[in-house]
Structure formats: structure tokens, C-alpha cells
Structure 1
Amino acid sequence: MITLRLRVWGLVQGVGFRFYTKRLADQLQINGMVKNKIDASVEIIVQDTPERAYAFVDRVKTSPPSPYAKIRTSTIEIIENEPIYKGFSIYY
């Protein structure tokens, strides 16, 4: 199992981005969470096999939830010592 932290910036808040991410994660049975950050970015934590986790990240980055959502930049990192997630949640 791998845990990835994806941060995306752009027009990603107020356009259904978190709900789209959760729906996609539920469809693909991915564990993790998504939340808005104070700097107007969205943080996504993904836990799965490396292949499935990176495929999910690619899908999130290339399939915006609405025509209004625009990812301008993103970062991805492998993180350690993260709690184990069961299912996928939206954090507020």
C-alpha cells in the first residue's frame, strides 16, 4: 500500500471538486480523504496499491468535475505514518 498527498490549485473550490473526487473514489473503491485548504487549494490523500493510487490521481487531474473547474498546478508526494483510511471521506 502507498499513501499519496495530491494538492491542486486553480479554480478548484466552489465547483464541486471535492464531491466529484469522492464519487470517483467510491466508484473505484479508493481509500482516503479530500478537503479544501485555506490557501484555496484542495488536498487529496489517496491510499491503495501504487498502480491504483497513481491511476486515481491521473484521473482526478485530467477529468475535472465541471466545465468551471480548472487545475492550474499540482503537487504530489508520498507520505508516511499517515493513519489508515477506511473508505473515502470529505473533510470540512
Structure 2
Amino acid sequence: MIFMKHLSIHVYGLVQGVGFRYSVVQVAADSEVTGTVENEMDGSVKIEAEGDEMKLYSFLQKIRQSPSPFAKVKTVDYDFSDNLKNYQKFTVIG
């Protein structure tokens, strides 16, 4: 059975200007999740993702391990919810 969830993630560390967002897009494609990724003014990166709950857990684990070889992930805050936004694909904002 598939349980669709929404996952909000904030990634802190050296995650801007190092190709992190584009690495996240590749991880999302590999994980079969949809959503968005964007830089925040405080230097963090915000990710909104949706998909099967088990695939989202896999996606989150890959984000924690830093998909970009140049990024340095320090902290990852996340929250699962049932409030789906029904994204059609995964895109970079900004």
C-alpha cells in the first residue's frame, strides 16, 4: 500500500553556491519524489517533497549524507505532514 506524504526539509551548512540544489533534483528523480528546492536568505536550503512515505525516508537519508561533493551539511530539520500540494515534478526555485 502506498502512503503519500509531504516532507518539508531545511538544510543548514555550506549548501549554497556548491551545486547542492541541482544534486537534490537528481536525488529526487532517483527517489521518485516531486517538489521544490530553493535557497533561503539565511544561507540554508528549503526542500518541499512529496511521494510515497518510504521513498521520502530514503530521499531524506540521501539529503542528510549531502548529495553534492562540495556541500557540507551540518543540520537537517524536517517535518512530515498529510498536507499534499500535488507537485507534478521536482524543480529548482530561484
TM-score (normalizing by structure 1): 0.90
Instruction: Count the aligned residue pairs.
Output: 91
Moved more, 22-31 or 11-20: 22-31
The ranges of structure 1 where at least 4 consecutive aligned residues each deviate by more than 4 angstroms after the TM superposition are none
1:26 and 2:14 are equivalent in the alignment: no
1:53 and 2:60 are equivalent in the alignment: no
Moved more, 33-42 or 72-81: 72-81
Task: Write the mapping of 1:1-92 to structure 2, written as runs, cut at 5 A.
Answer: 1-66=4-69, 68-92=70-94
- Once the two structures are superposed, residues 20-52 of structure 1 have per-residue CA deviations (whole angstroms, 9 ceiling, x without a partner) of 000121233211110000110001111011111
- Aligned partners of 1:34 and 1:83: how far apart in 2? 14
Whether the 8 Å CA contact 1:13–1:41 is kept in 2: the answer is yes
Give the drift of 1:73. Answer: 0.8
Segments of 5+ residues of structure 1 without an aligned counterpart are: none
TM-score (normalizing by structure 2): 0.88
Whether the 8 Å CA contact 2:31–2:58 is kept in 1: the answer is no
Using the aligned pairs only, state the percent identity.
33
